[in-house]
Structures are given as C-alpha cells and as structure tokens.
Amino acid sequence: MEKINLKQAAYINGQWVNADNKIAVNNPANNDIIGYVPDLEKDLVHQAINSAAEAFETWKNTSPDIRYNLLQKFYELIIRDREKLAKIITIENGKALQDARKEVDYGANFIRYFAGEPYRISGATLPSANINNRTQYIKQPIGVVGAITPWNFPMAMIARKLGPILAAGCTAVLKPSEFTPFSCNALIELLIEAGLPKGVVNVITGDAAMIGEIMTSHAQIKKITFTGSTRVGKIIYSNCANQIKKLALELGGNAPLIIFEDANQNLAIEGIIASKLRSGGQSCTSINRIFLHEKIYDQFIENFKIVFANVKLGDGLNEENDLGSVINQAAIDKYEYLIADALSKGAELVLGGKKLSGQGCFFEPTIIKNANPNMEIFSQEIFGPIAVFYKFSNDQEALALANKTNYGLASYLYTQSQLKARHISENLQYGMVGINETILANEMFPFTGIKESGIGVEGSHLAIDEFLNIKSINYRVS
C-alpha cells in the first residue's frame, strides 16, 4: 500500500501548530503507532477559541454564495480523495475499508446538503397585538461553536457538524477523539484547499477534560455540539449550566429491534447484519437488543447464524474483510464481561464470543440467545459485533421490554402489518424508528434522541436551526 501522509498537528488561526508533548495514535488492527498529535497547553486552546471569535466577525456577514462555494468545493475535494480518506479512517479506527468508504460518502453528503442551506435561512413577518406594530423575526448565526466528536465515525461526525456550522455563518473549534484525529485533519486539509478563511475552523488536540472545561466556560463559545458517551455528555451539560450555554448532545443508545411473527425474516436478517457491520456495531444506533417472537425464535436464530458466521473478520485494509478490528482492548474487555455475565445468568452462546488470538483487536461475530432483562447486556450499550436475542409472546410485552431503558435514540421493528408498524412506532419511546430498515442516518434524516440519548437534531433542514439564534424585532408602521 502506498504510504499515506498523516497531518500530525493541530490547526489554529490558519496555521498548523505543534507542541513538545504529544499524544500517540495507534492502529487497532496491529497496535502499531501510526503518528502523533500535539498535547496542547491551555494557552493554545484559548488562542484557537479567540481566533474563531475574531473570524466570526467577518464570516457571519458573508453572502450565501461565499458559504455555498466553500462547502461545495469542499465536497468535491472529499470525493476526489475518497480512497485516501477511507484508508485513514481504517488505519486509525480499524473498520473495514468497504465500510470506511461508506463513511466518507455519508460525511460528504452532509457537506453537499448543507452547501445549499445558506440560501434558505429565512425569517418571517408576523402581525402584532398592537395594530400600529409589526413583528419580524430573523435568524442570526450563534457565534463560535465548540464541537467535540468521537472515534466511531471519525470523519462523518466532523462533517455532520461542520456542514451546518459553516452554512449558518458560525465559526468552529473542533476537538476530535484522541483515538482518531487524523481523519479530522485530512478533512481540514481539504477544507483549506477549498479556500477556508483564517480562523473560521480550528482543530485542537490534547487533554479532553481540560479542553472540555475551557470550552464550556469560555465566554466566546456560544454553543457546544457533542457526540459521545452519555457519561461525558452529562459532564458537559452540567458545565454549560453556569453560562446557560446552548448545547446539542448526541449520546449513547440501547436500540431495540422487535421482530414480529409476520416479519419478512430475510429482510430482518439483512437488517441486523447491516447494523452490526456498520462500524463493527460500534455505533450509538446499532441494534443492542433483539426481541424475537417466540413462534419464530429458534428457526430465525439458526438462519441468522448461518449468515453471521460467514462474515469475514480481519484487517480492515484487506478488501475481502467485512468486519475489521474494534477500537481497543478496553472494548474487548467490556464484551467479555457482558458475555460472561449473561451466560452466568442463563443465556446461551450460539456463535463466537472470543477475541481472535494474535495481534489486534478482532472480536468474533457473536450471537447470544435466551437473554433476559436481569443481565447487564440488557441495559448497557454493547458497541460491538454481538447480537443478543430475547423472546417475547405478545406486542405489549415487546413494547414494554423495548422501552425499559433510560436511553431513547434509535429503535427498529420488522412486521408486514401497516397498522402494527404505525402503532408500535408511535409508542416506542425513542427519537428515531426504523420500520423494516436498520440504516437510518443520512443527511436528509433528522437524527435525534430523547431521554438520556440527547438533545438537538443533526441532519435535514431542521439542523441548521441548531446554529442560529432567533431575534424578534417589533417595529411601528404608523
């Protein structure tokens, strides 16, 4: 494979910068160190925020054409470098190359979609209670946005935030995951090539808690948009309280999939496989609990096993593999703990259950059946290539089990009955429902969670409002 140049720096006020202290980044497929990013001191974090604040004064007043041109050019460059970006994702995240290519397309589409949004930011004029008055409201960019992103979609999560931030006329300070900073930097190189003005986007790397504290307490940061764990989301939420800082949180999930007796079973099997192969099941929307009707239980699991056992596991760079490595040993330790707990409480292991011997963080496609709500695996986010089956006998029971969680992100159901699909989807306590489909997120889909899964919307025409303030103006007409 030709050598890929990784940008090993932070990006502040239009300059790539470095520091004496560094953070090592490794490839989870072989544990090799692939590069380093700076472990920035506090003053550079402040510099990044101040430069975004200064740039905002100009960027907020740019014409829609300027913002469209930048984003559209950025999109074209991402597509030009699709292969290189996919490889960077694979070597720092571990996911299979074919999956990484899908991530590049997924992320790029957000940039293309939001390129057009500057033309559509609008307000309205409303009547007033006083007949001599009118009310007008306009929408204005919020200001500097602090964006904190995770490692599971290292490129797409940056793109999904950058599209609406830039389209709205905001500027940004990005903090990518310390495990996967190079996908972010590769994107920023393309954004610079597309004509990014100085200070409009900055990238900082370093101690996450320190950066989080500065971002949440800095008066110039007007909004935080965070994607990551519910644990960290709660810290950020509480730290934002002091300044009533606006925030969007896209947090963990505990997605149920209900497969009713009348489901198209082949479609359901395809759906579970797609969900488990997407970032190796390391996605907050990945199916965590499968509720299967008792009448189809054993046969369905047998059929599913045949397909899941055929999944090719190995180095993500090898085109033949469907499933790459997971992010690190800590993830594997968690799977082993959850599986052991489930088996000790009566679950049965149908397939897999182990890490591959040798280097790298490869975990076998795994199936567990006869699980029940007393097991840890029922309430914790697995984040891996593990399918866990529960049995139910009627619709009410399935719905109650599905809703028995503090999370409320994605949920899924398979049935051929229109009425049942409508009824169950309206009663699932989740921000998103997939009916006979498990891949939901795209640039046109309002991605949103309730309960402890988050606040705010990403994707669709609703998402630009996350980065705009409403200003109401009352004026006299006579």
- Of 117, 250, 381, 443, which is the active-site residue? 250
The answer to whether 170 is a known catalytic residue is no
Q: Helix H segments across 251-314?
A: 265-277, 297-309
CA angle 150–184–321, rounded 5-degree value: 75
> Which tokens is 144 given?
């500097």
What is the closest distance, in whole angstroms, from the C-beta atom of residue 178 to ligand ADP in the complex?
5
CB of 53 to ligand ADP, least distance (A): 20
Query: How far is the CA of 356 from the CAs of 152, 325, 361, in angstroms?
Result: 21, 10, 8
Give CA–CA dist 453/255, Å, rounded: 11
How far is residue 191's CA from residue 70's CA, in Å, rounded to a whole number?
Answer: 8
Nearer to ligand ADP, 62 or 288 (CB): 288
**Residue 23 vs 138, nearer CB to ligand ADP:** 23
- Catalytic annotation on 426? no
Alpha-carbon distances, residue 59 vs 110, 146, 224, 293 (angstroms) = 20, 16, 19, 55
The alpha carbon torsion through 465, 441, 381, 394 (nearest 10 deg) reads 110
Smallest distance, ligand ADP to C-beta of residue 220, A: 17
Catalytic one of 170, 184, 240, 284: 284
The total of other beta-carbon atoms located within 10 Å of residue 244's CB is 7
For ligand ADP, the closer of residues 232 and 375 by Cβ is: 232
If you ran DSSP here, which 8-state letter would residue 449 be given?
A: -
Smallest separation (angstroms) from ligand ADP to the CB of 150: 4
CB closer to ligand ADP out of 163 and 228: 228
**Nearest CA among 398, 430, 397, 396 for reference residue 414:** 398
Question: Least distance (Å) from ligand ADP to the CB of residue 221?
Answer: 12
Residue closest to ligand ADP, measured at CB: 212
Give the E-state strand segments of 110-189 in sequence order: 124-127, 133-141, 144-148, 171-175
Cβ closest to ligand ADP, residue 158 vs residue 259: 158
Which residues are at the interface with ligand ADP (CB under 6 A)? Answer: 148-151, 175, 177-178, 208-209, 212, 228-229, 232, 235-236
Show which residues are catalytic: 250, 284
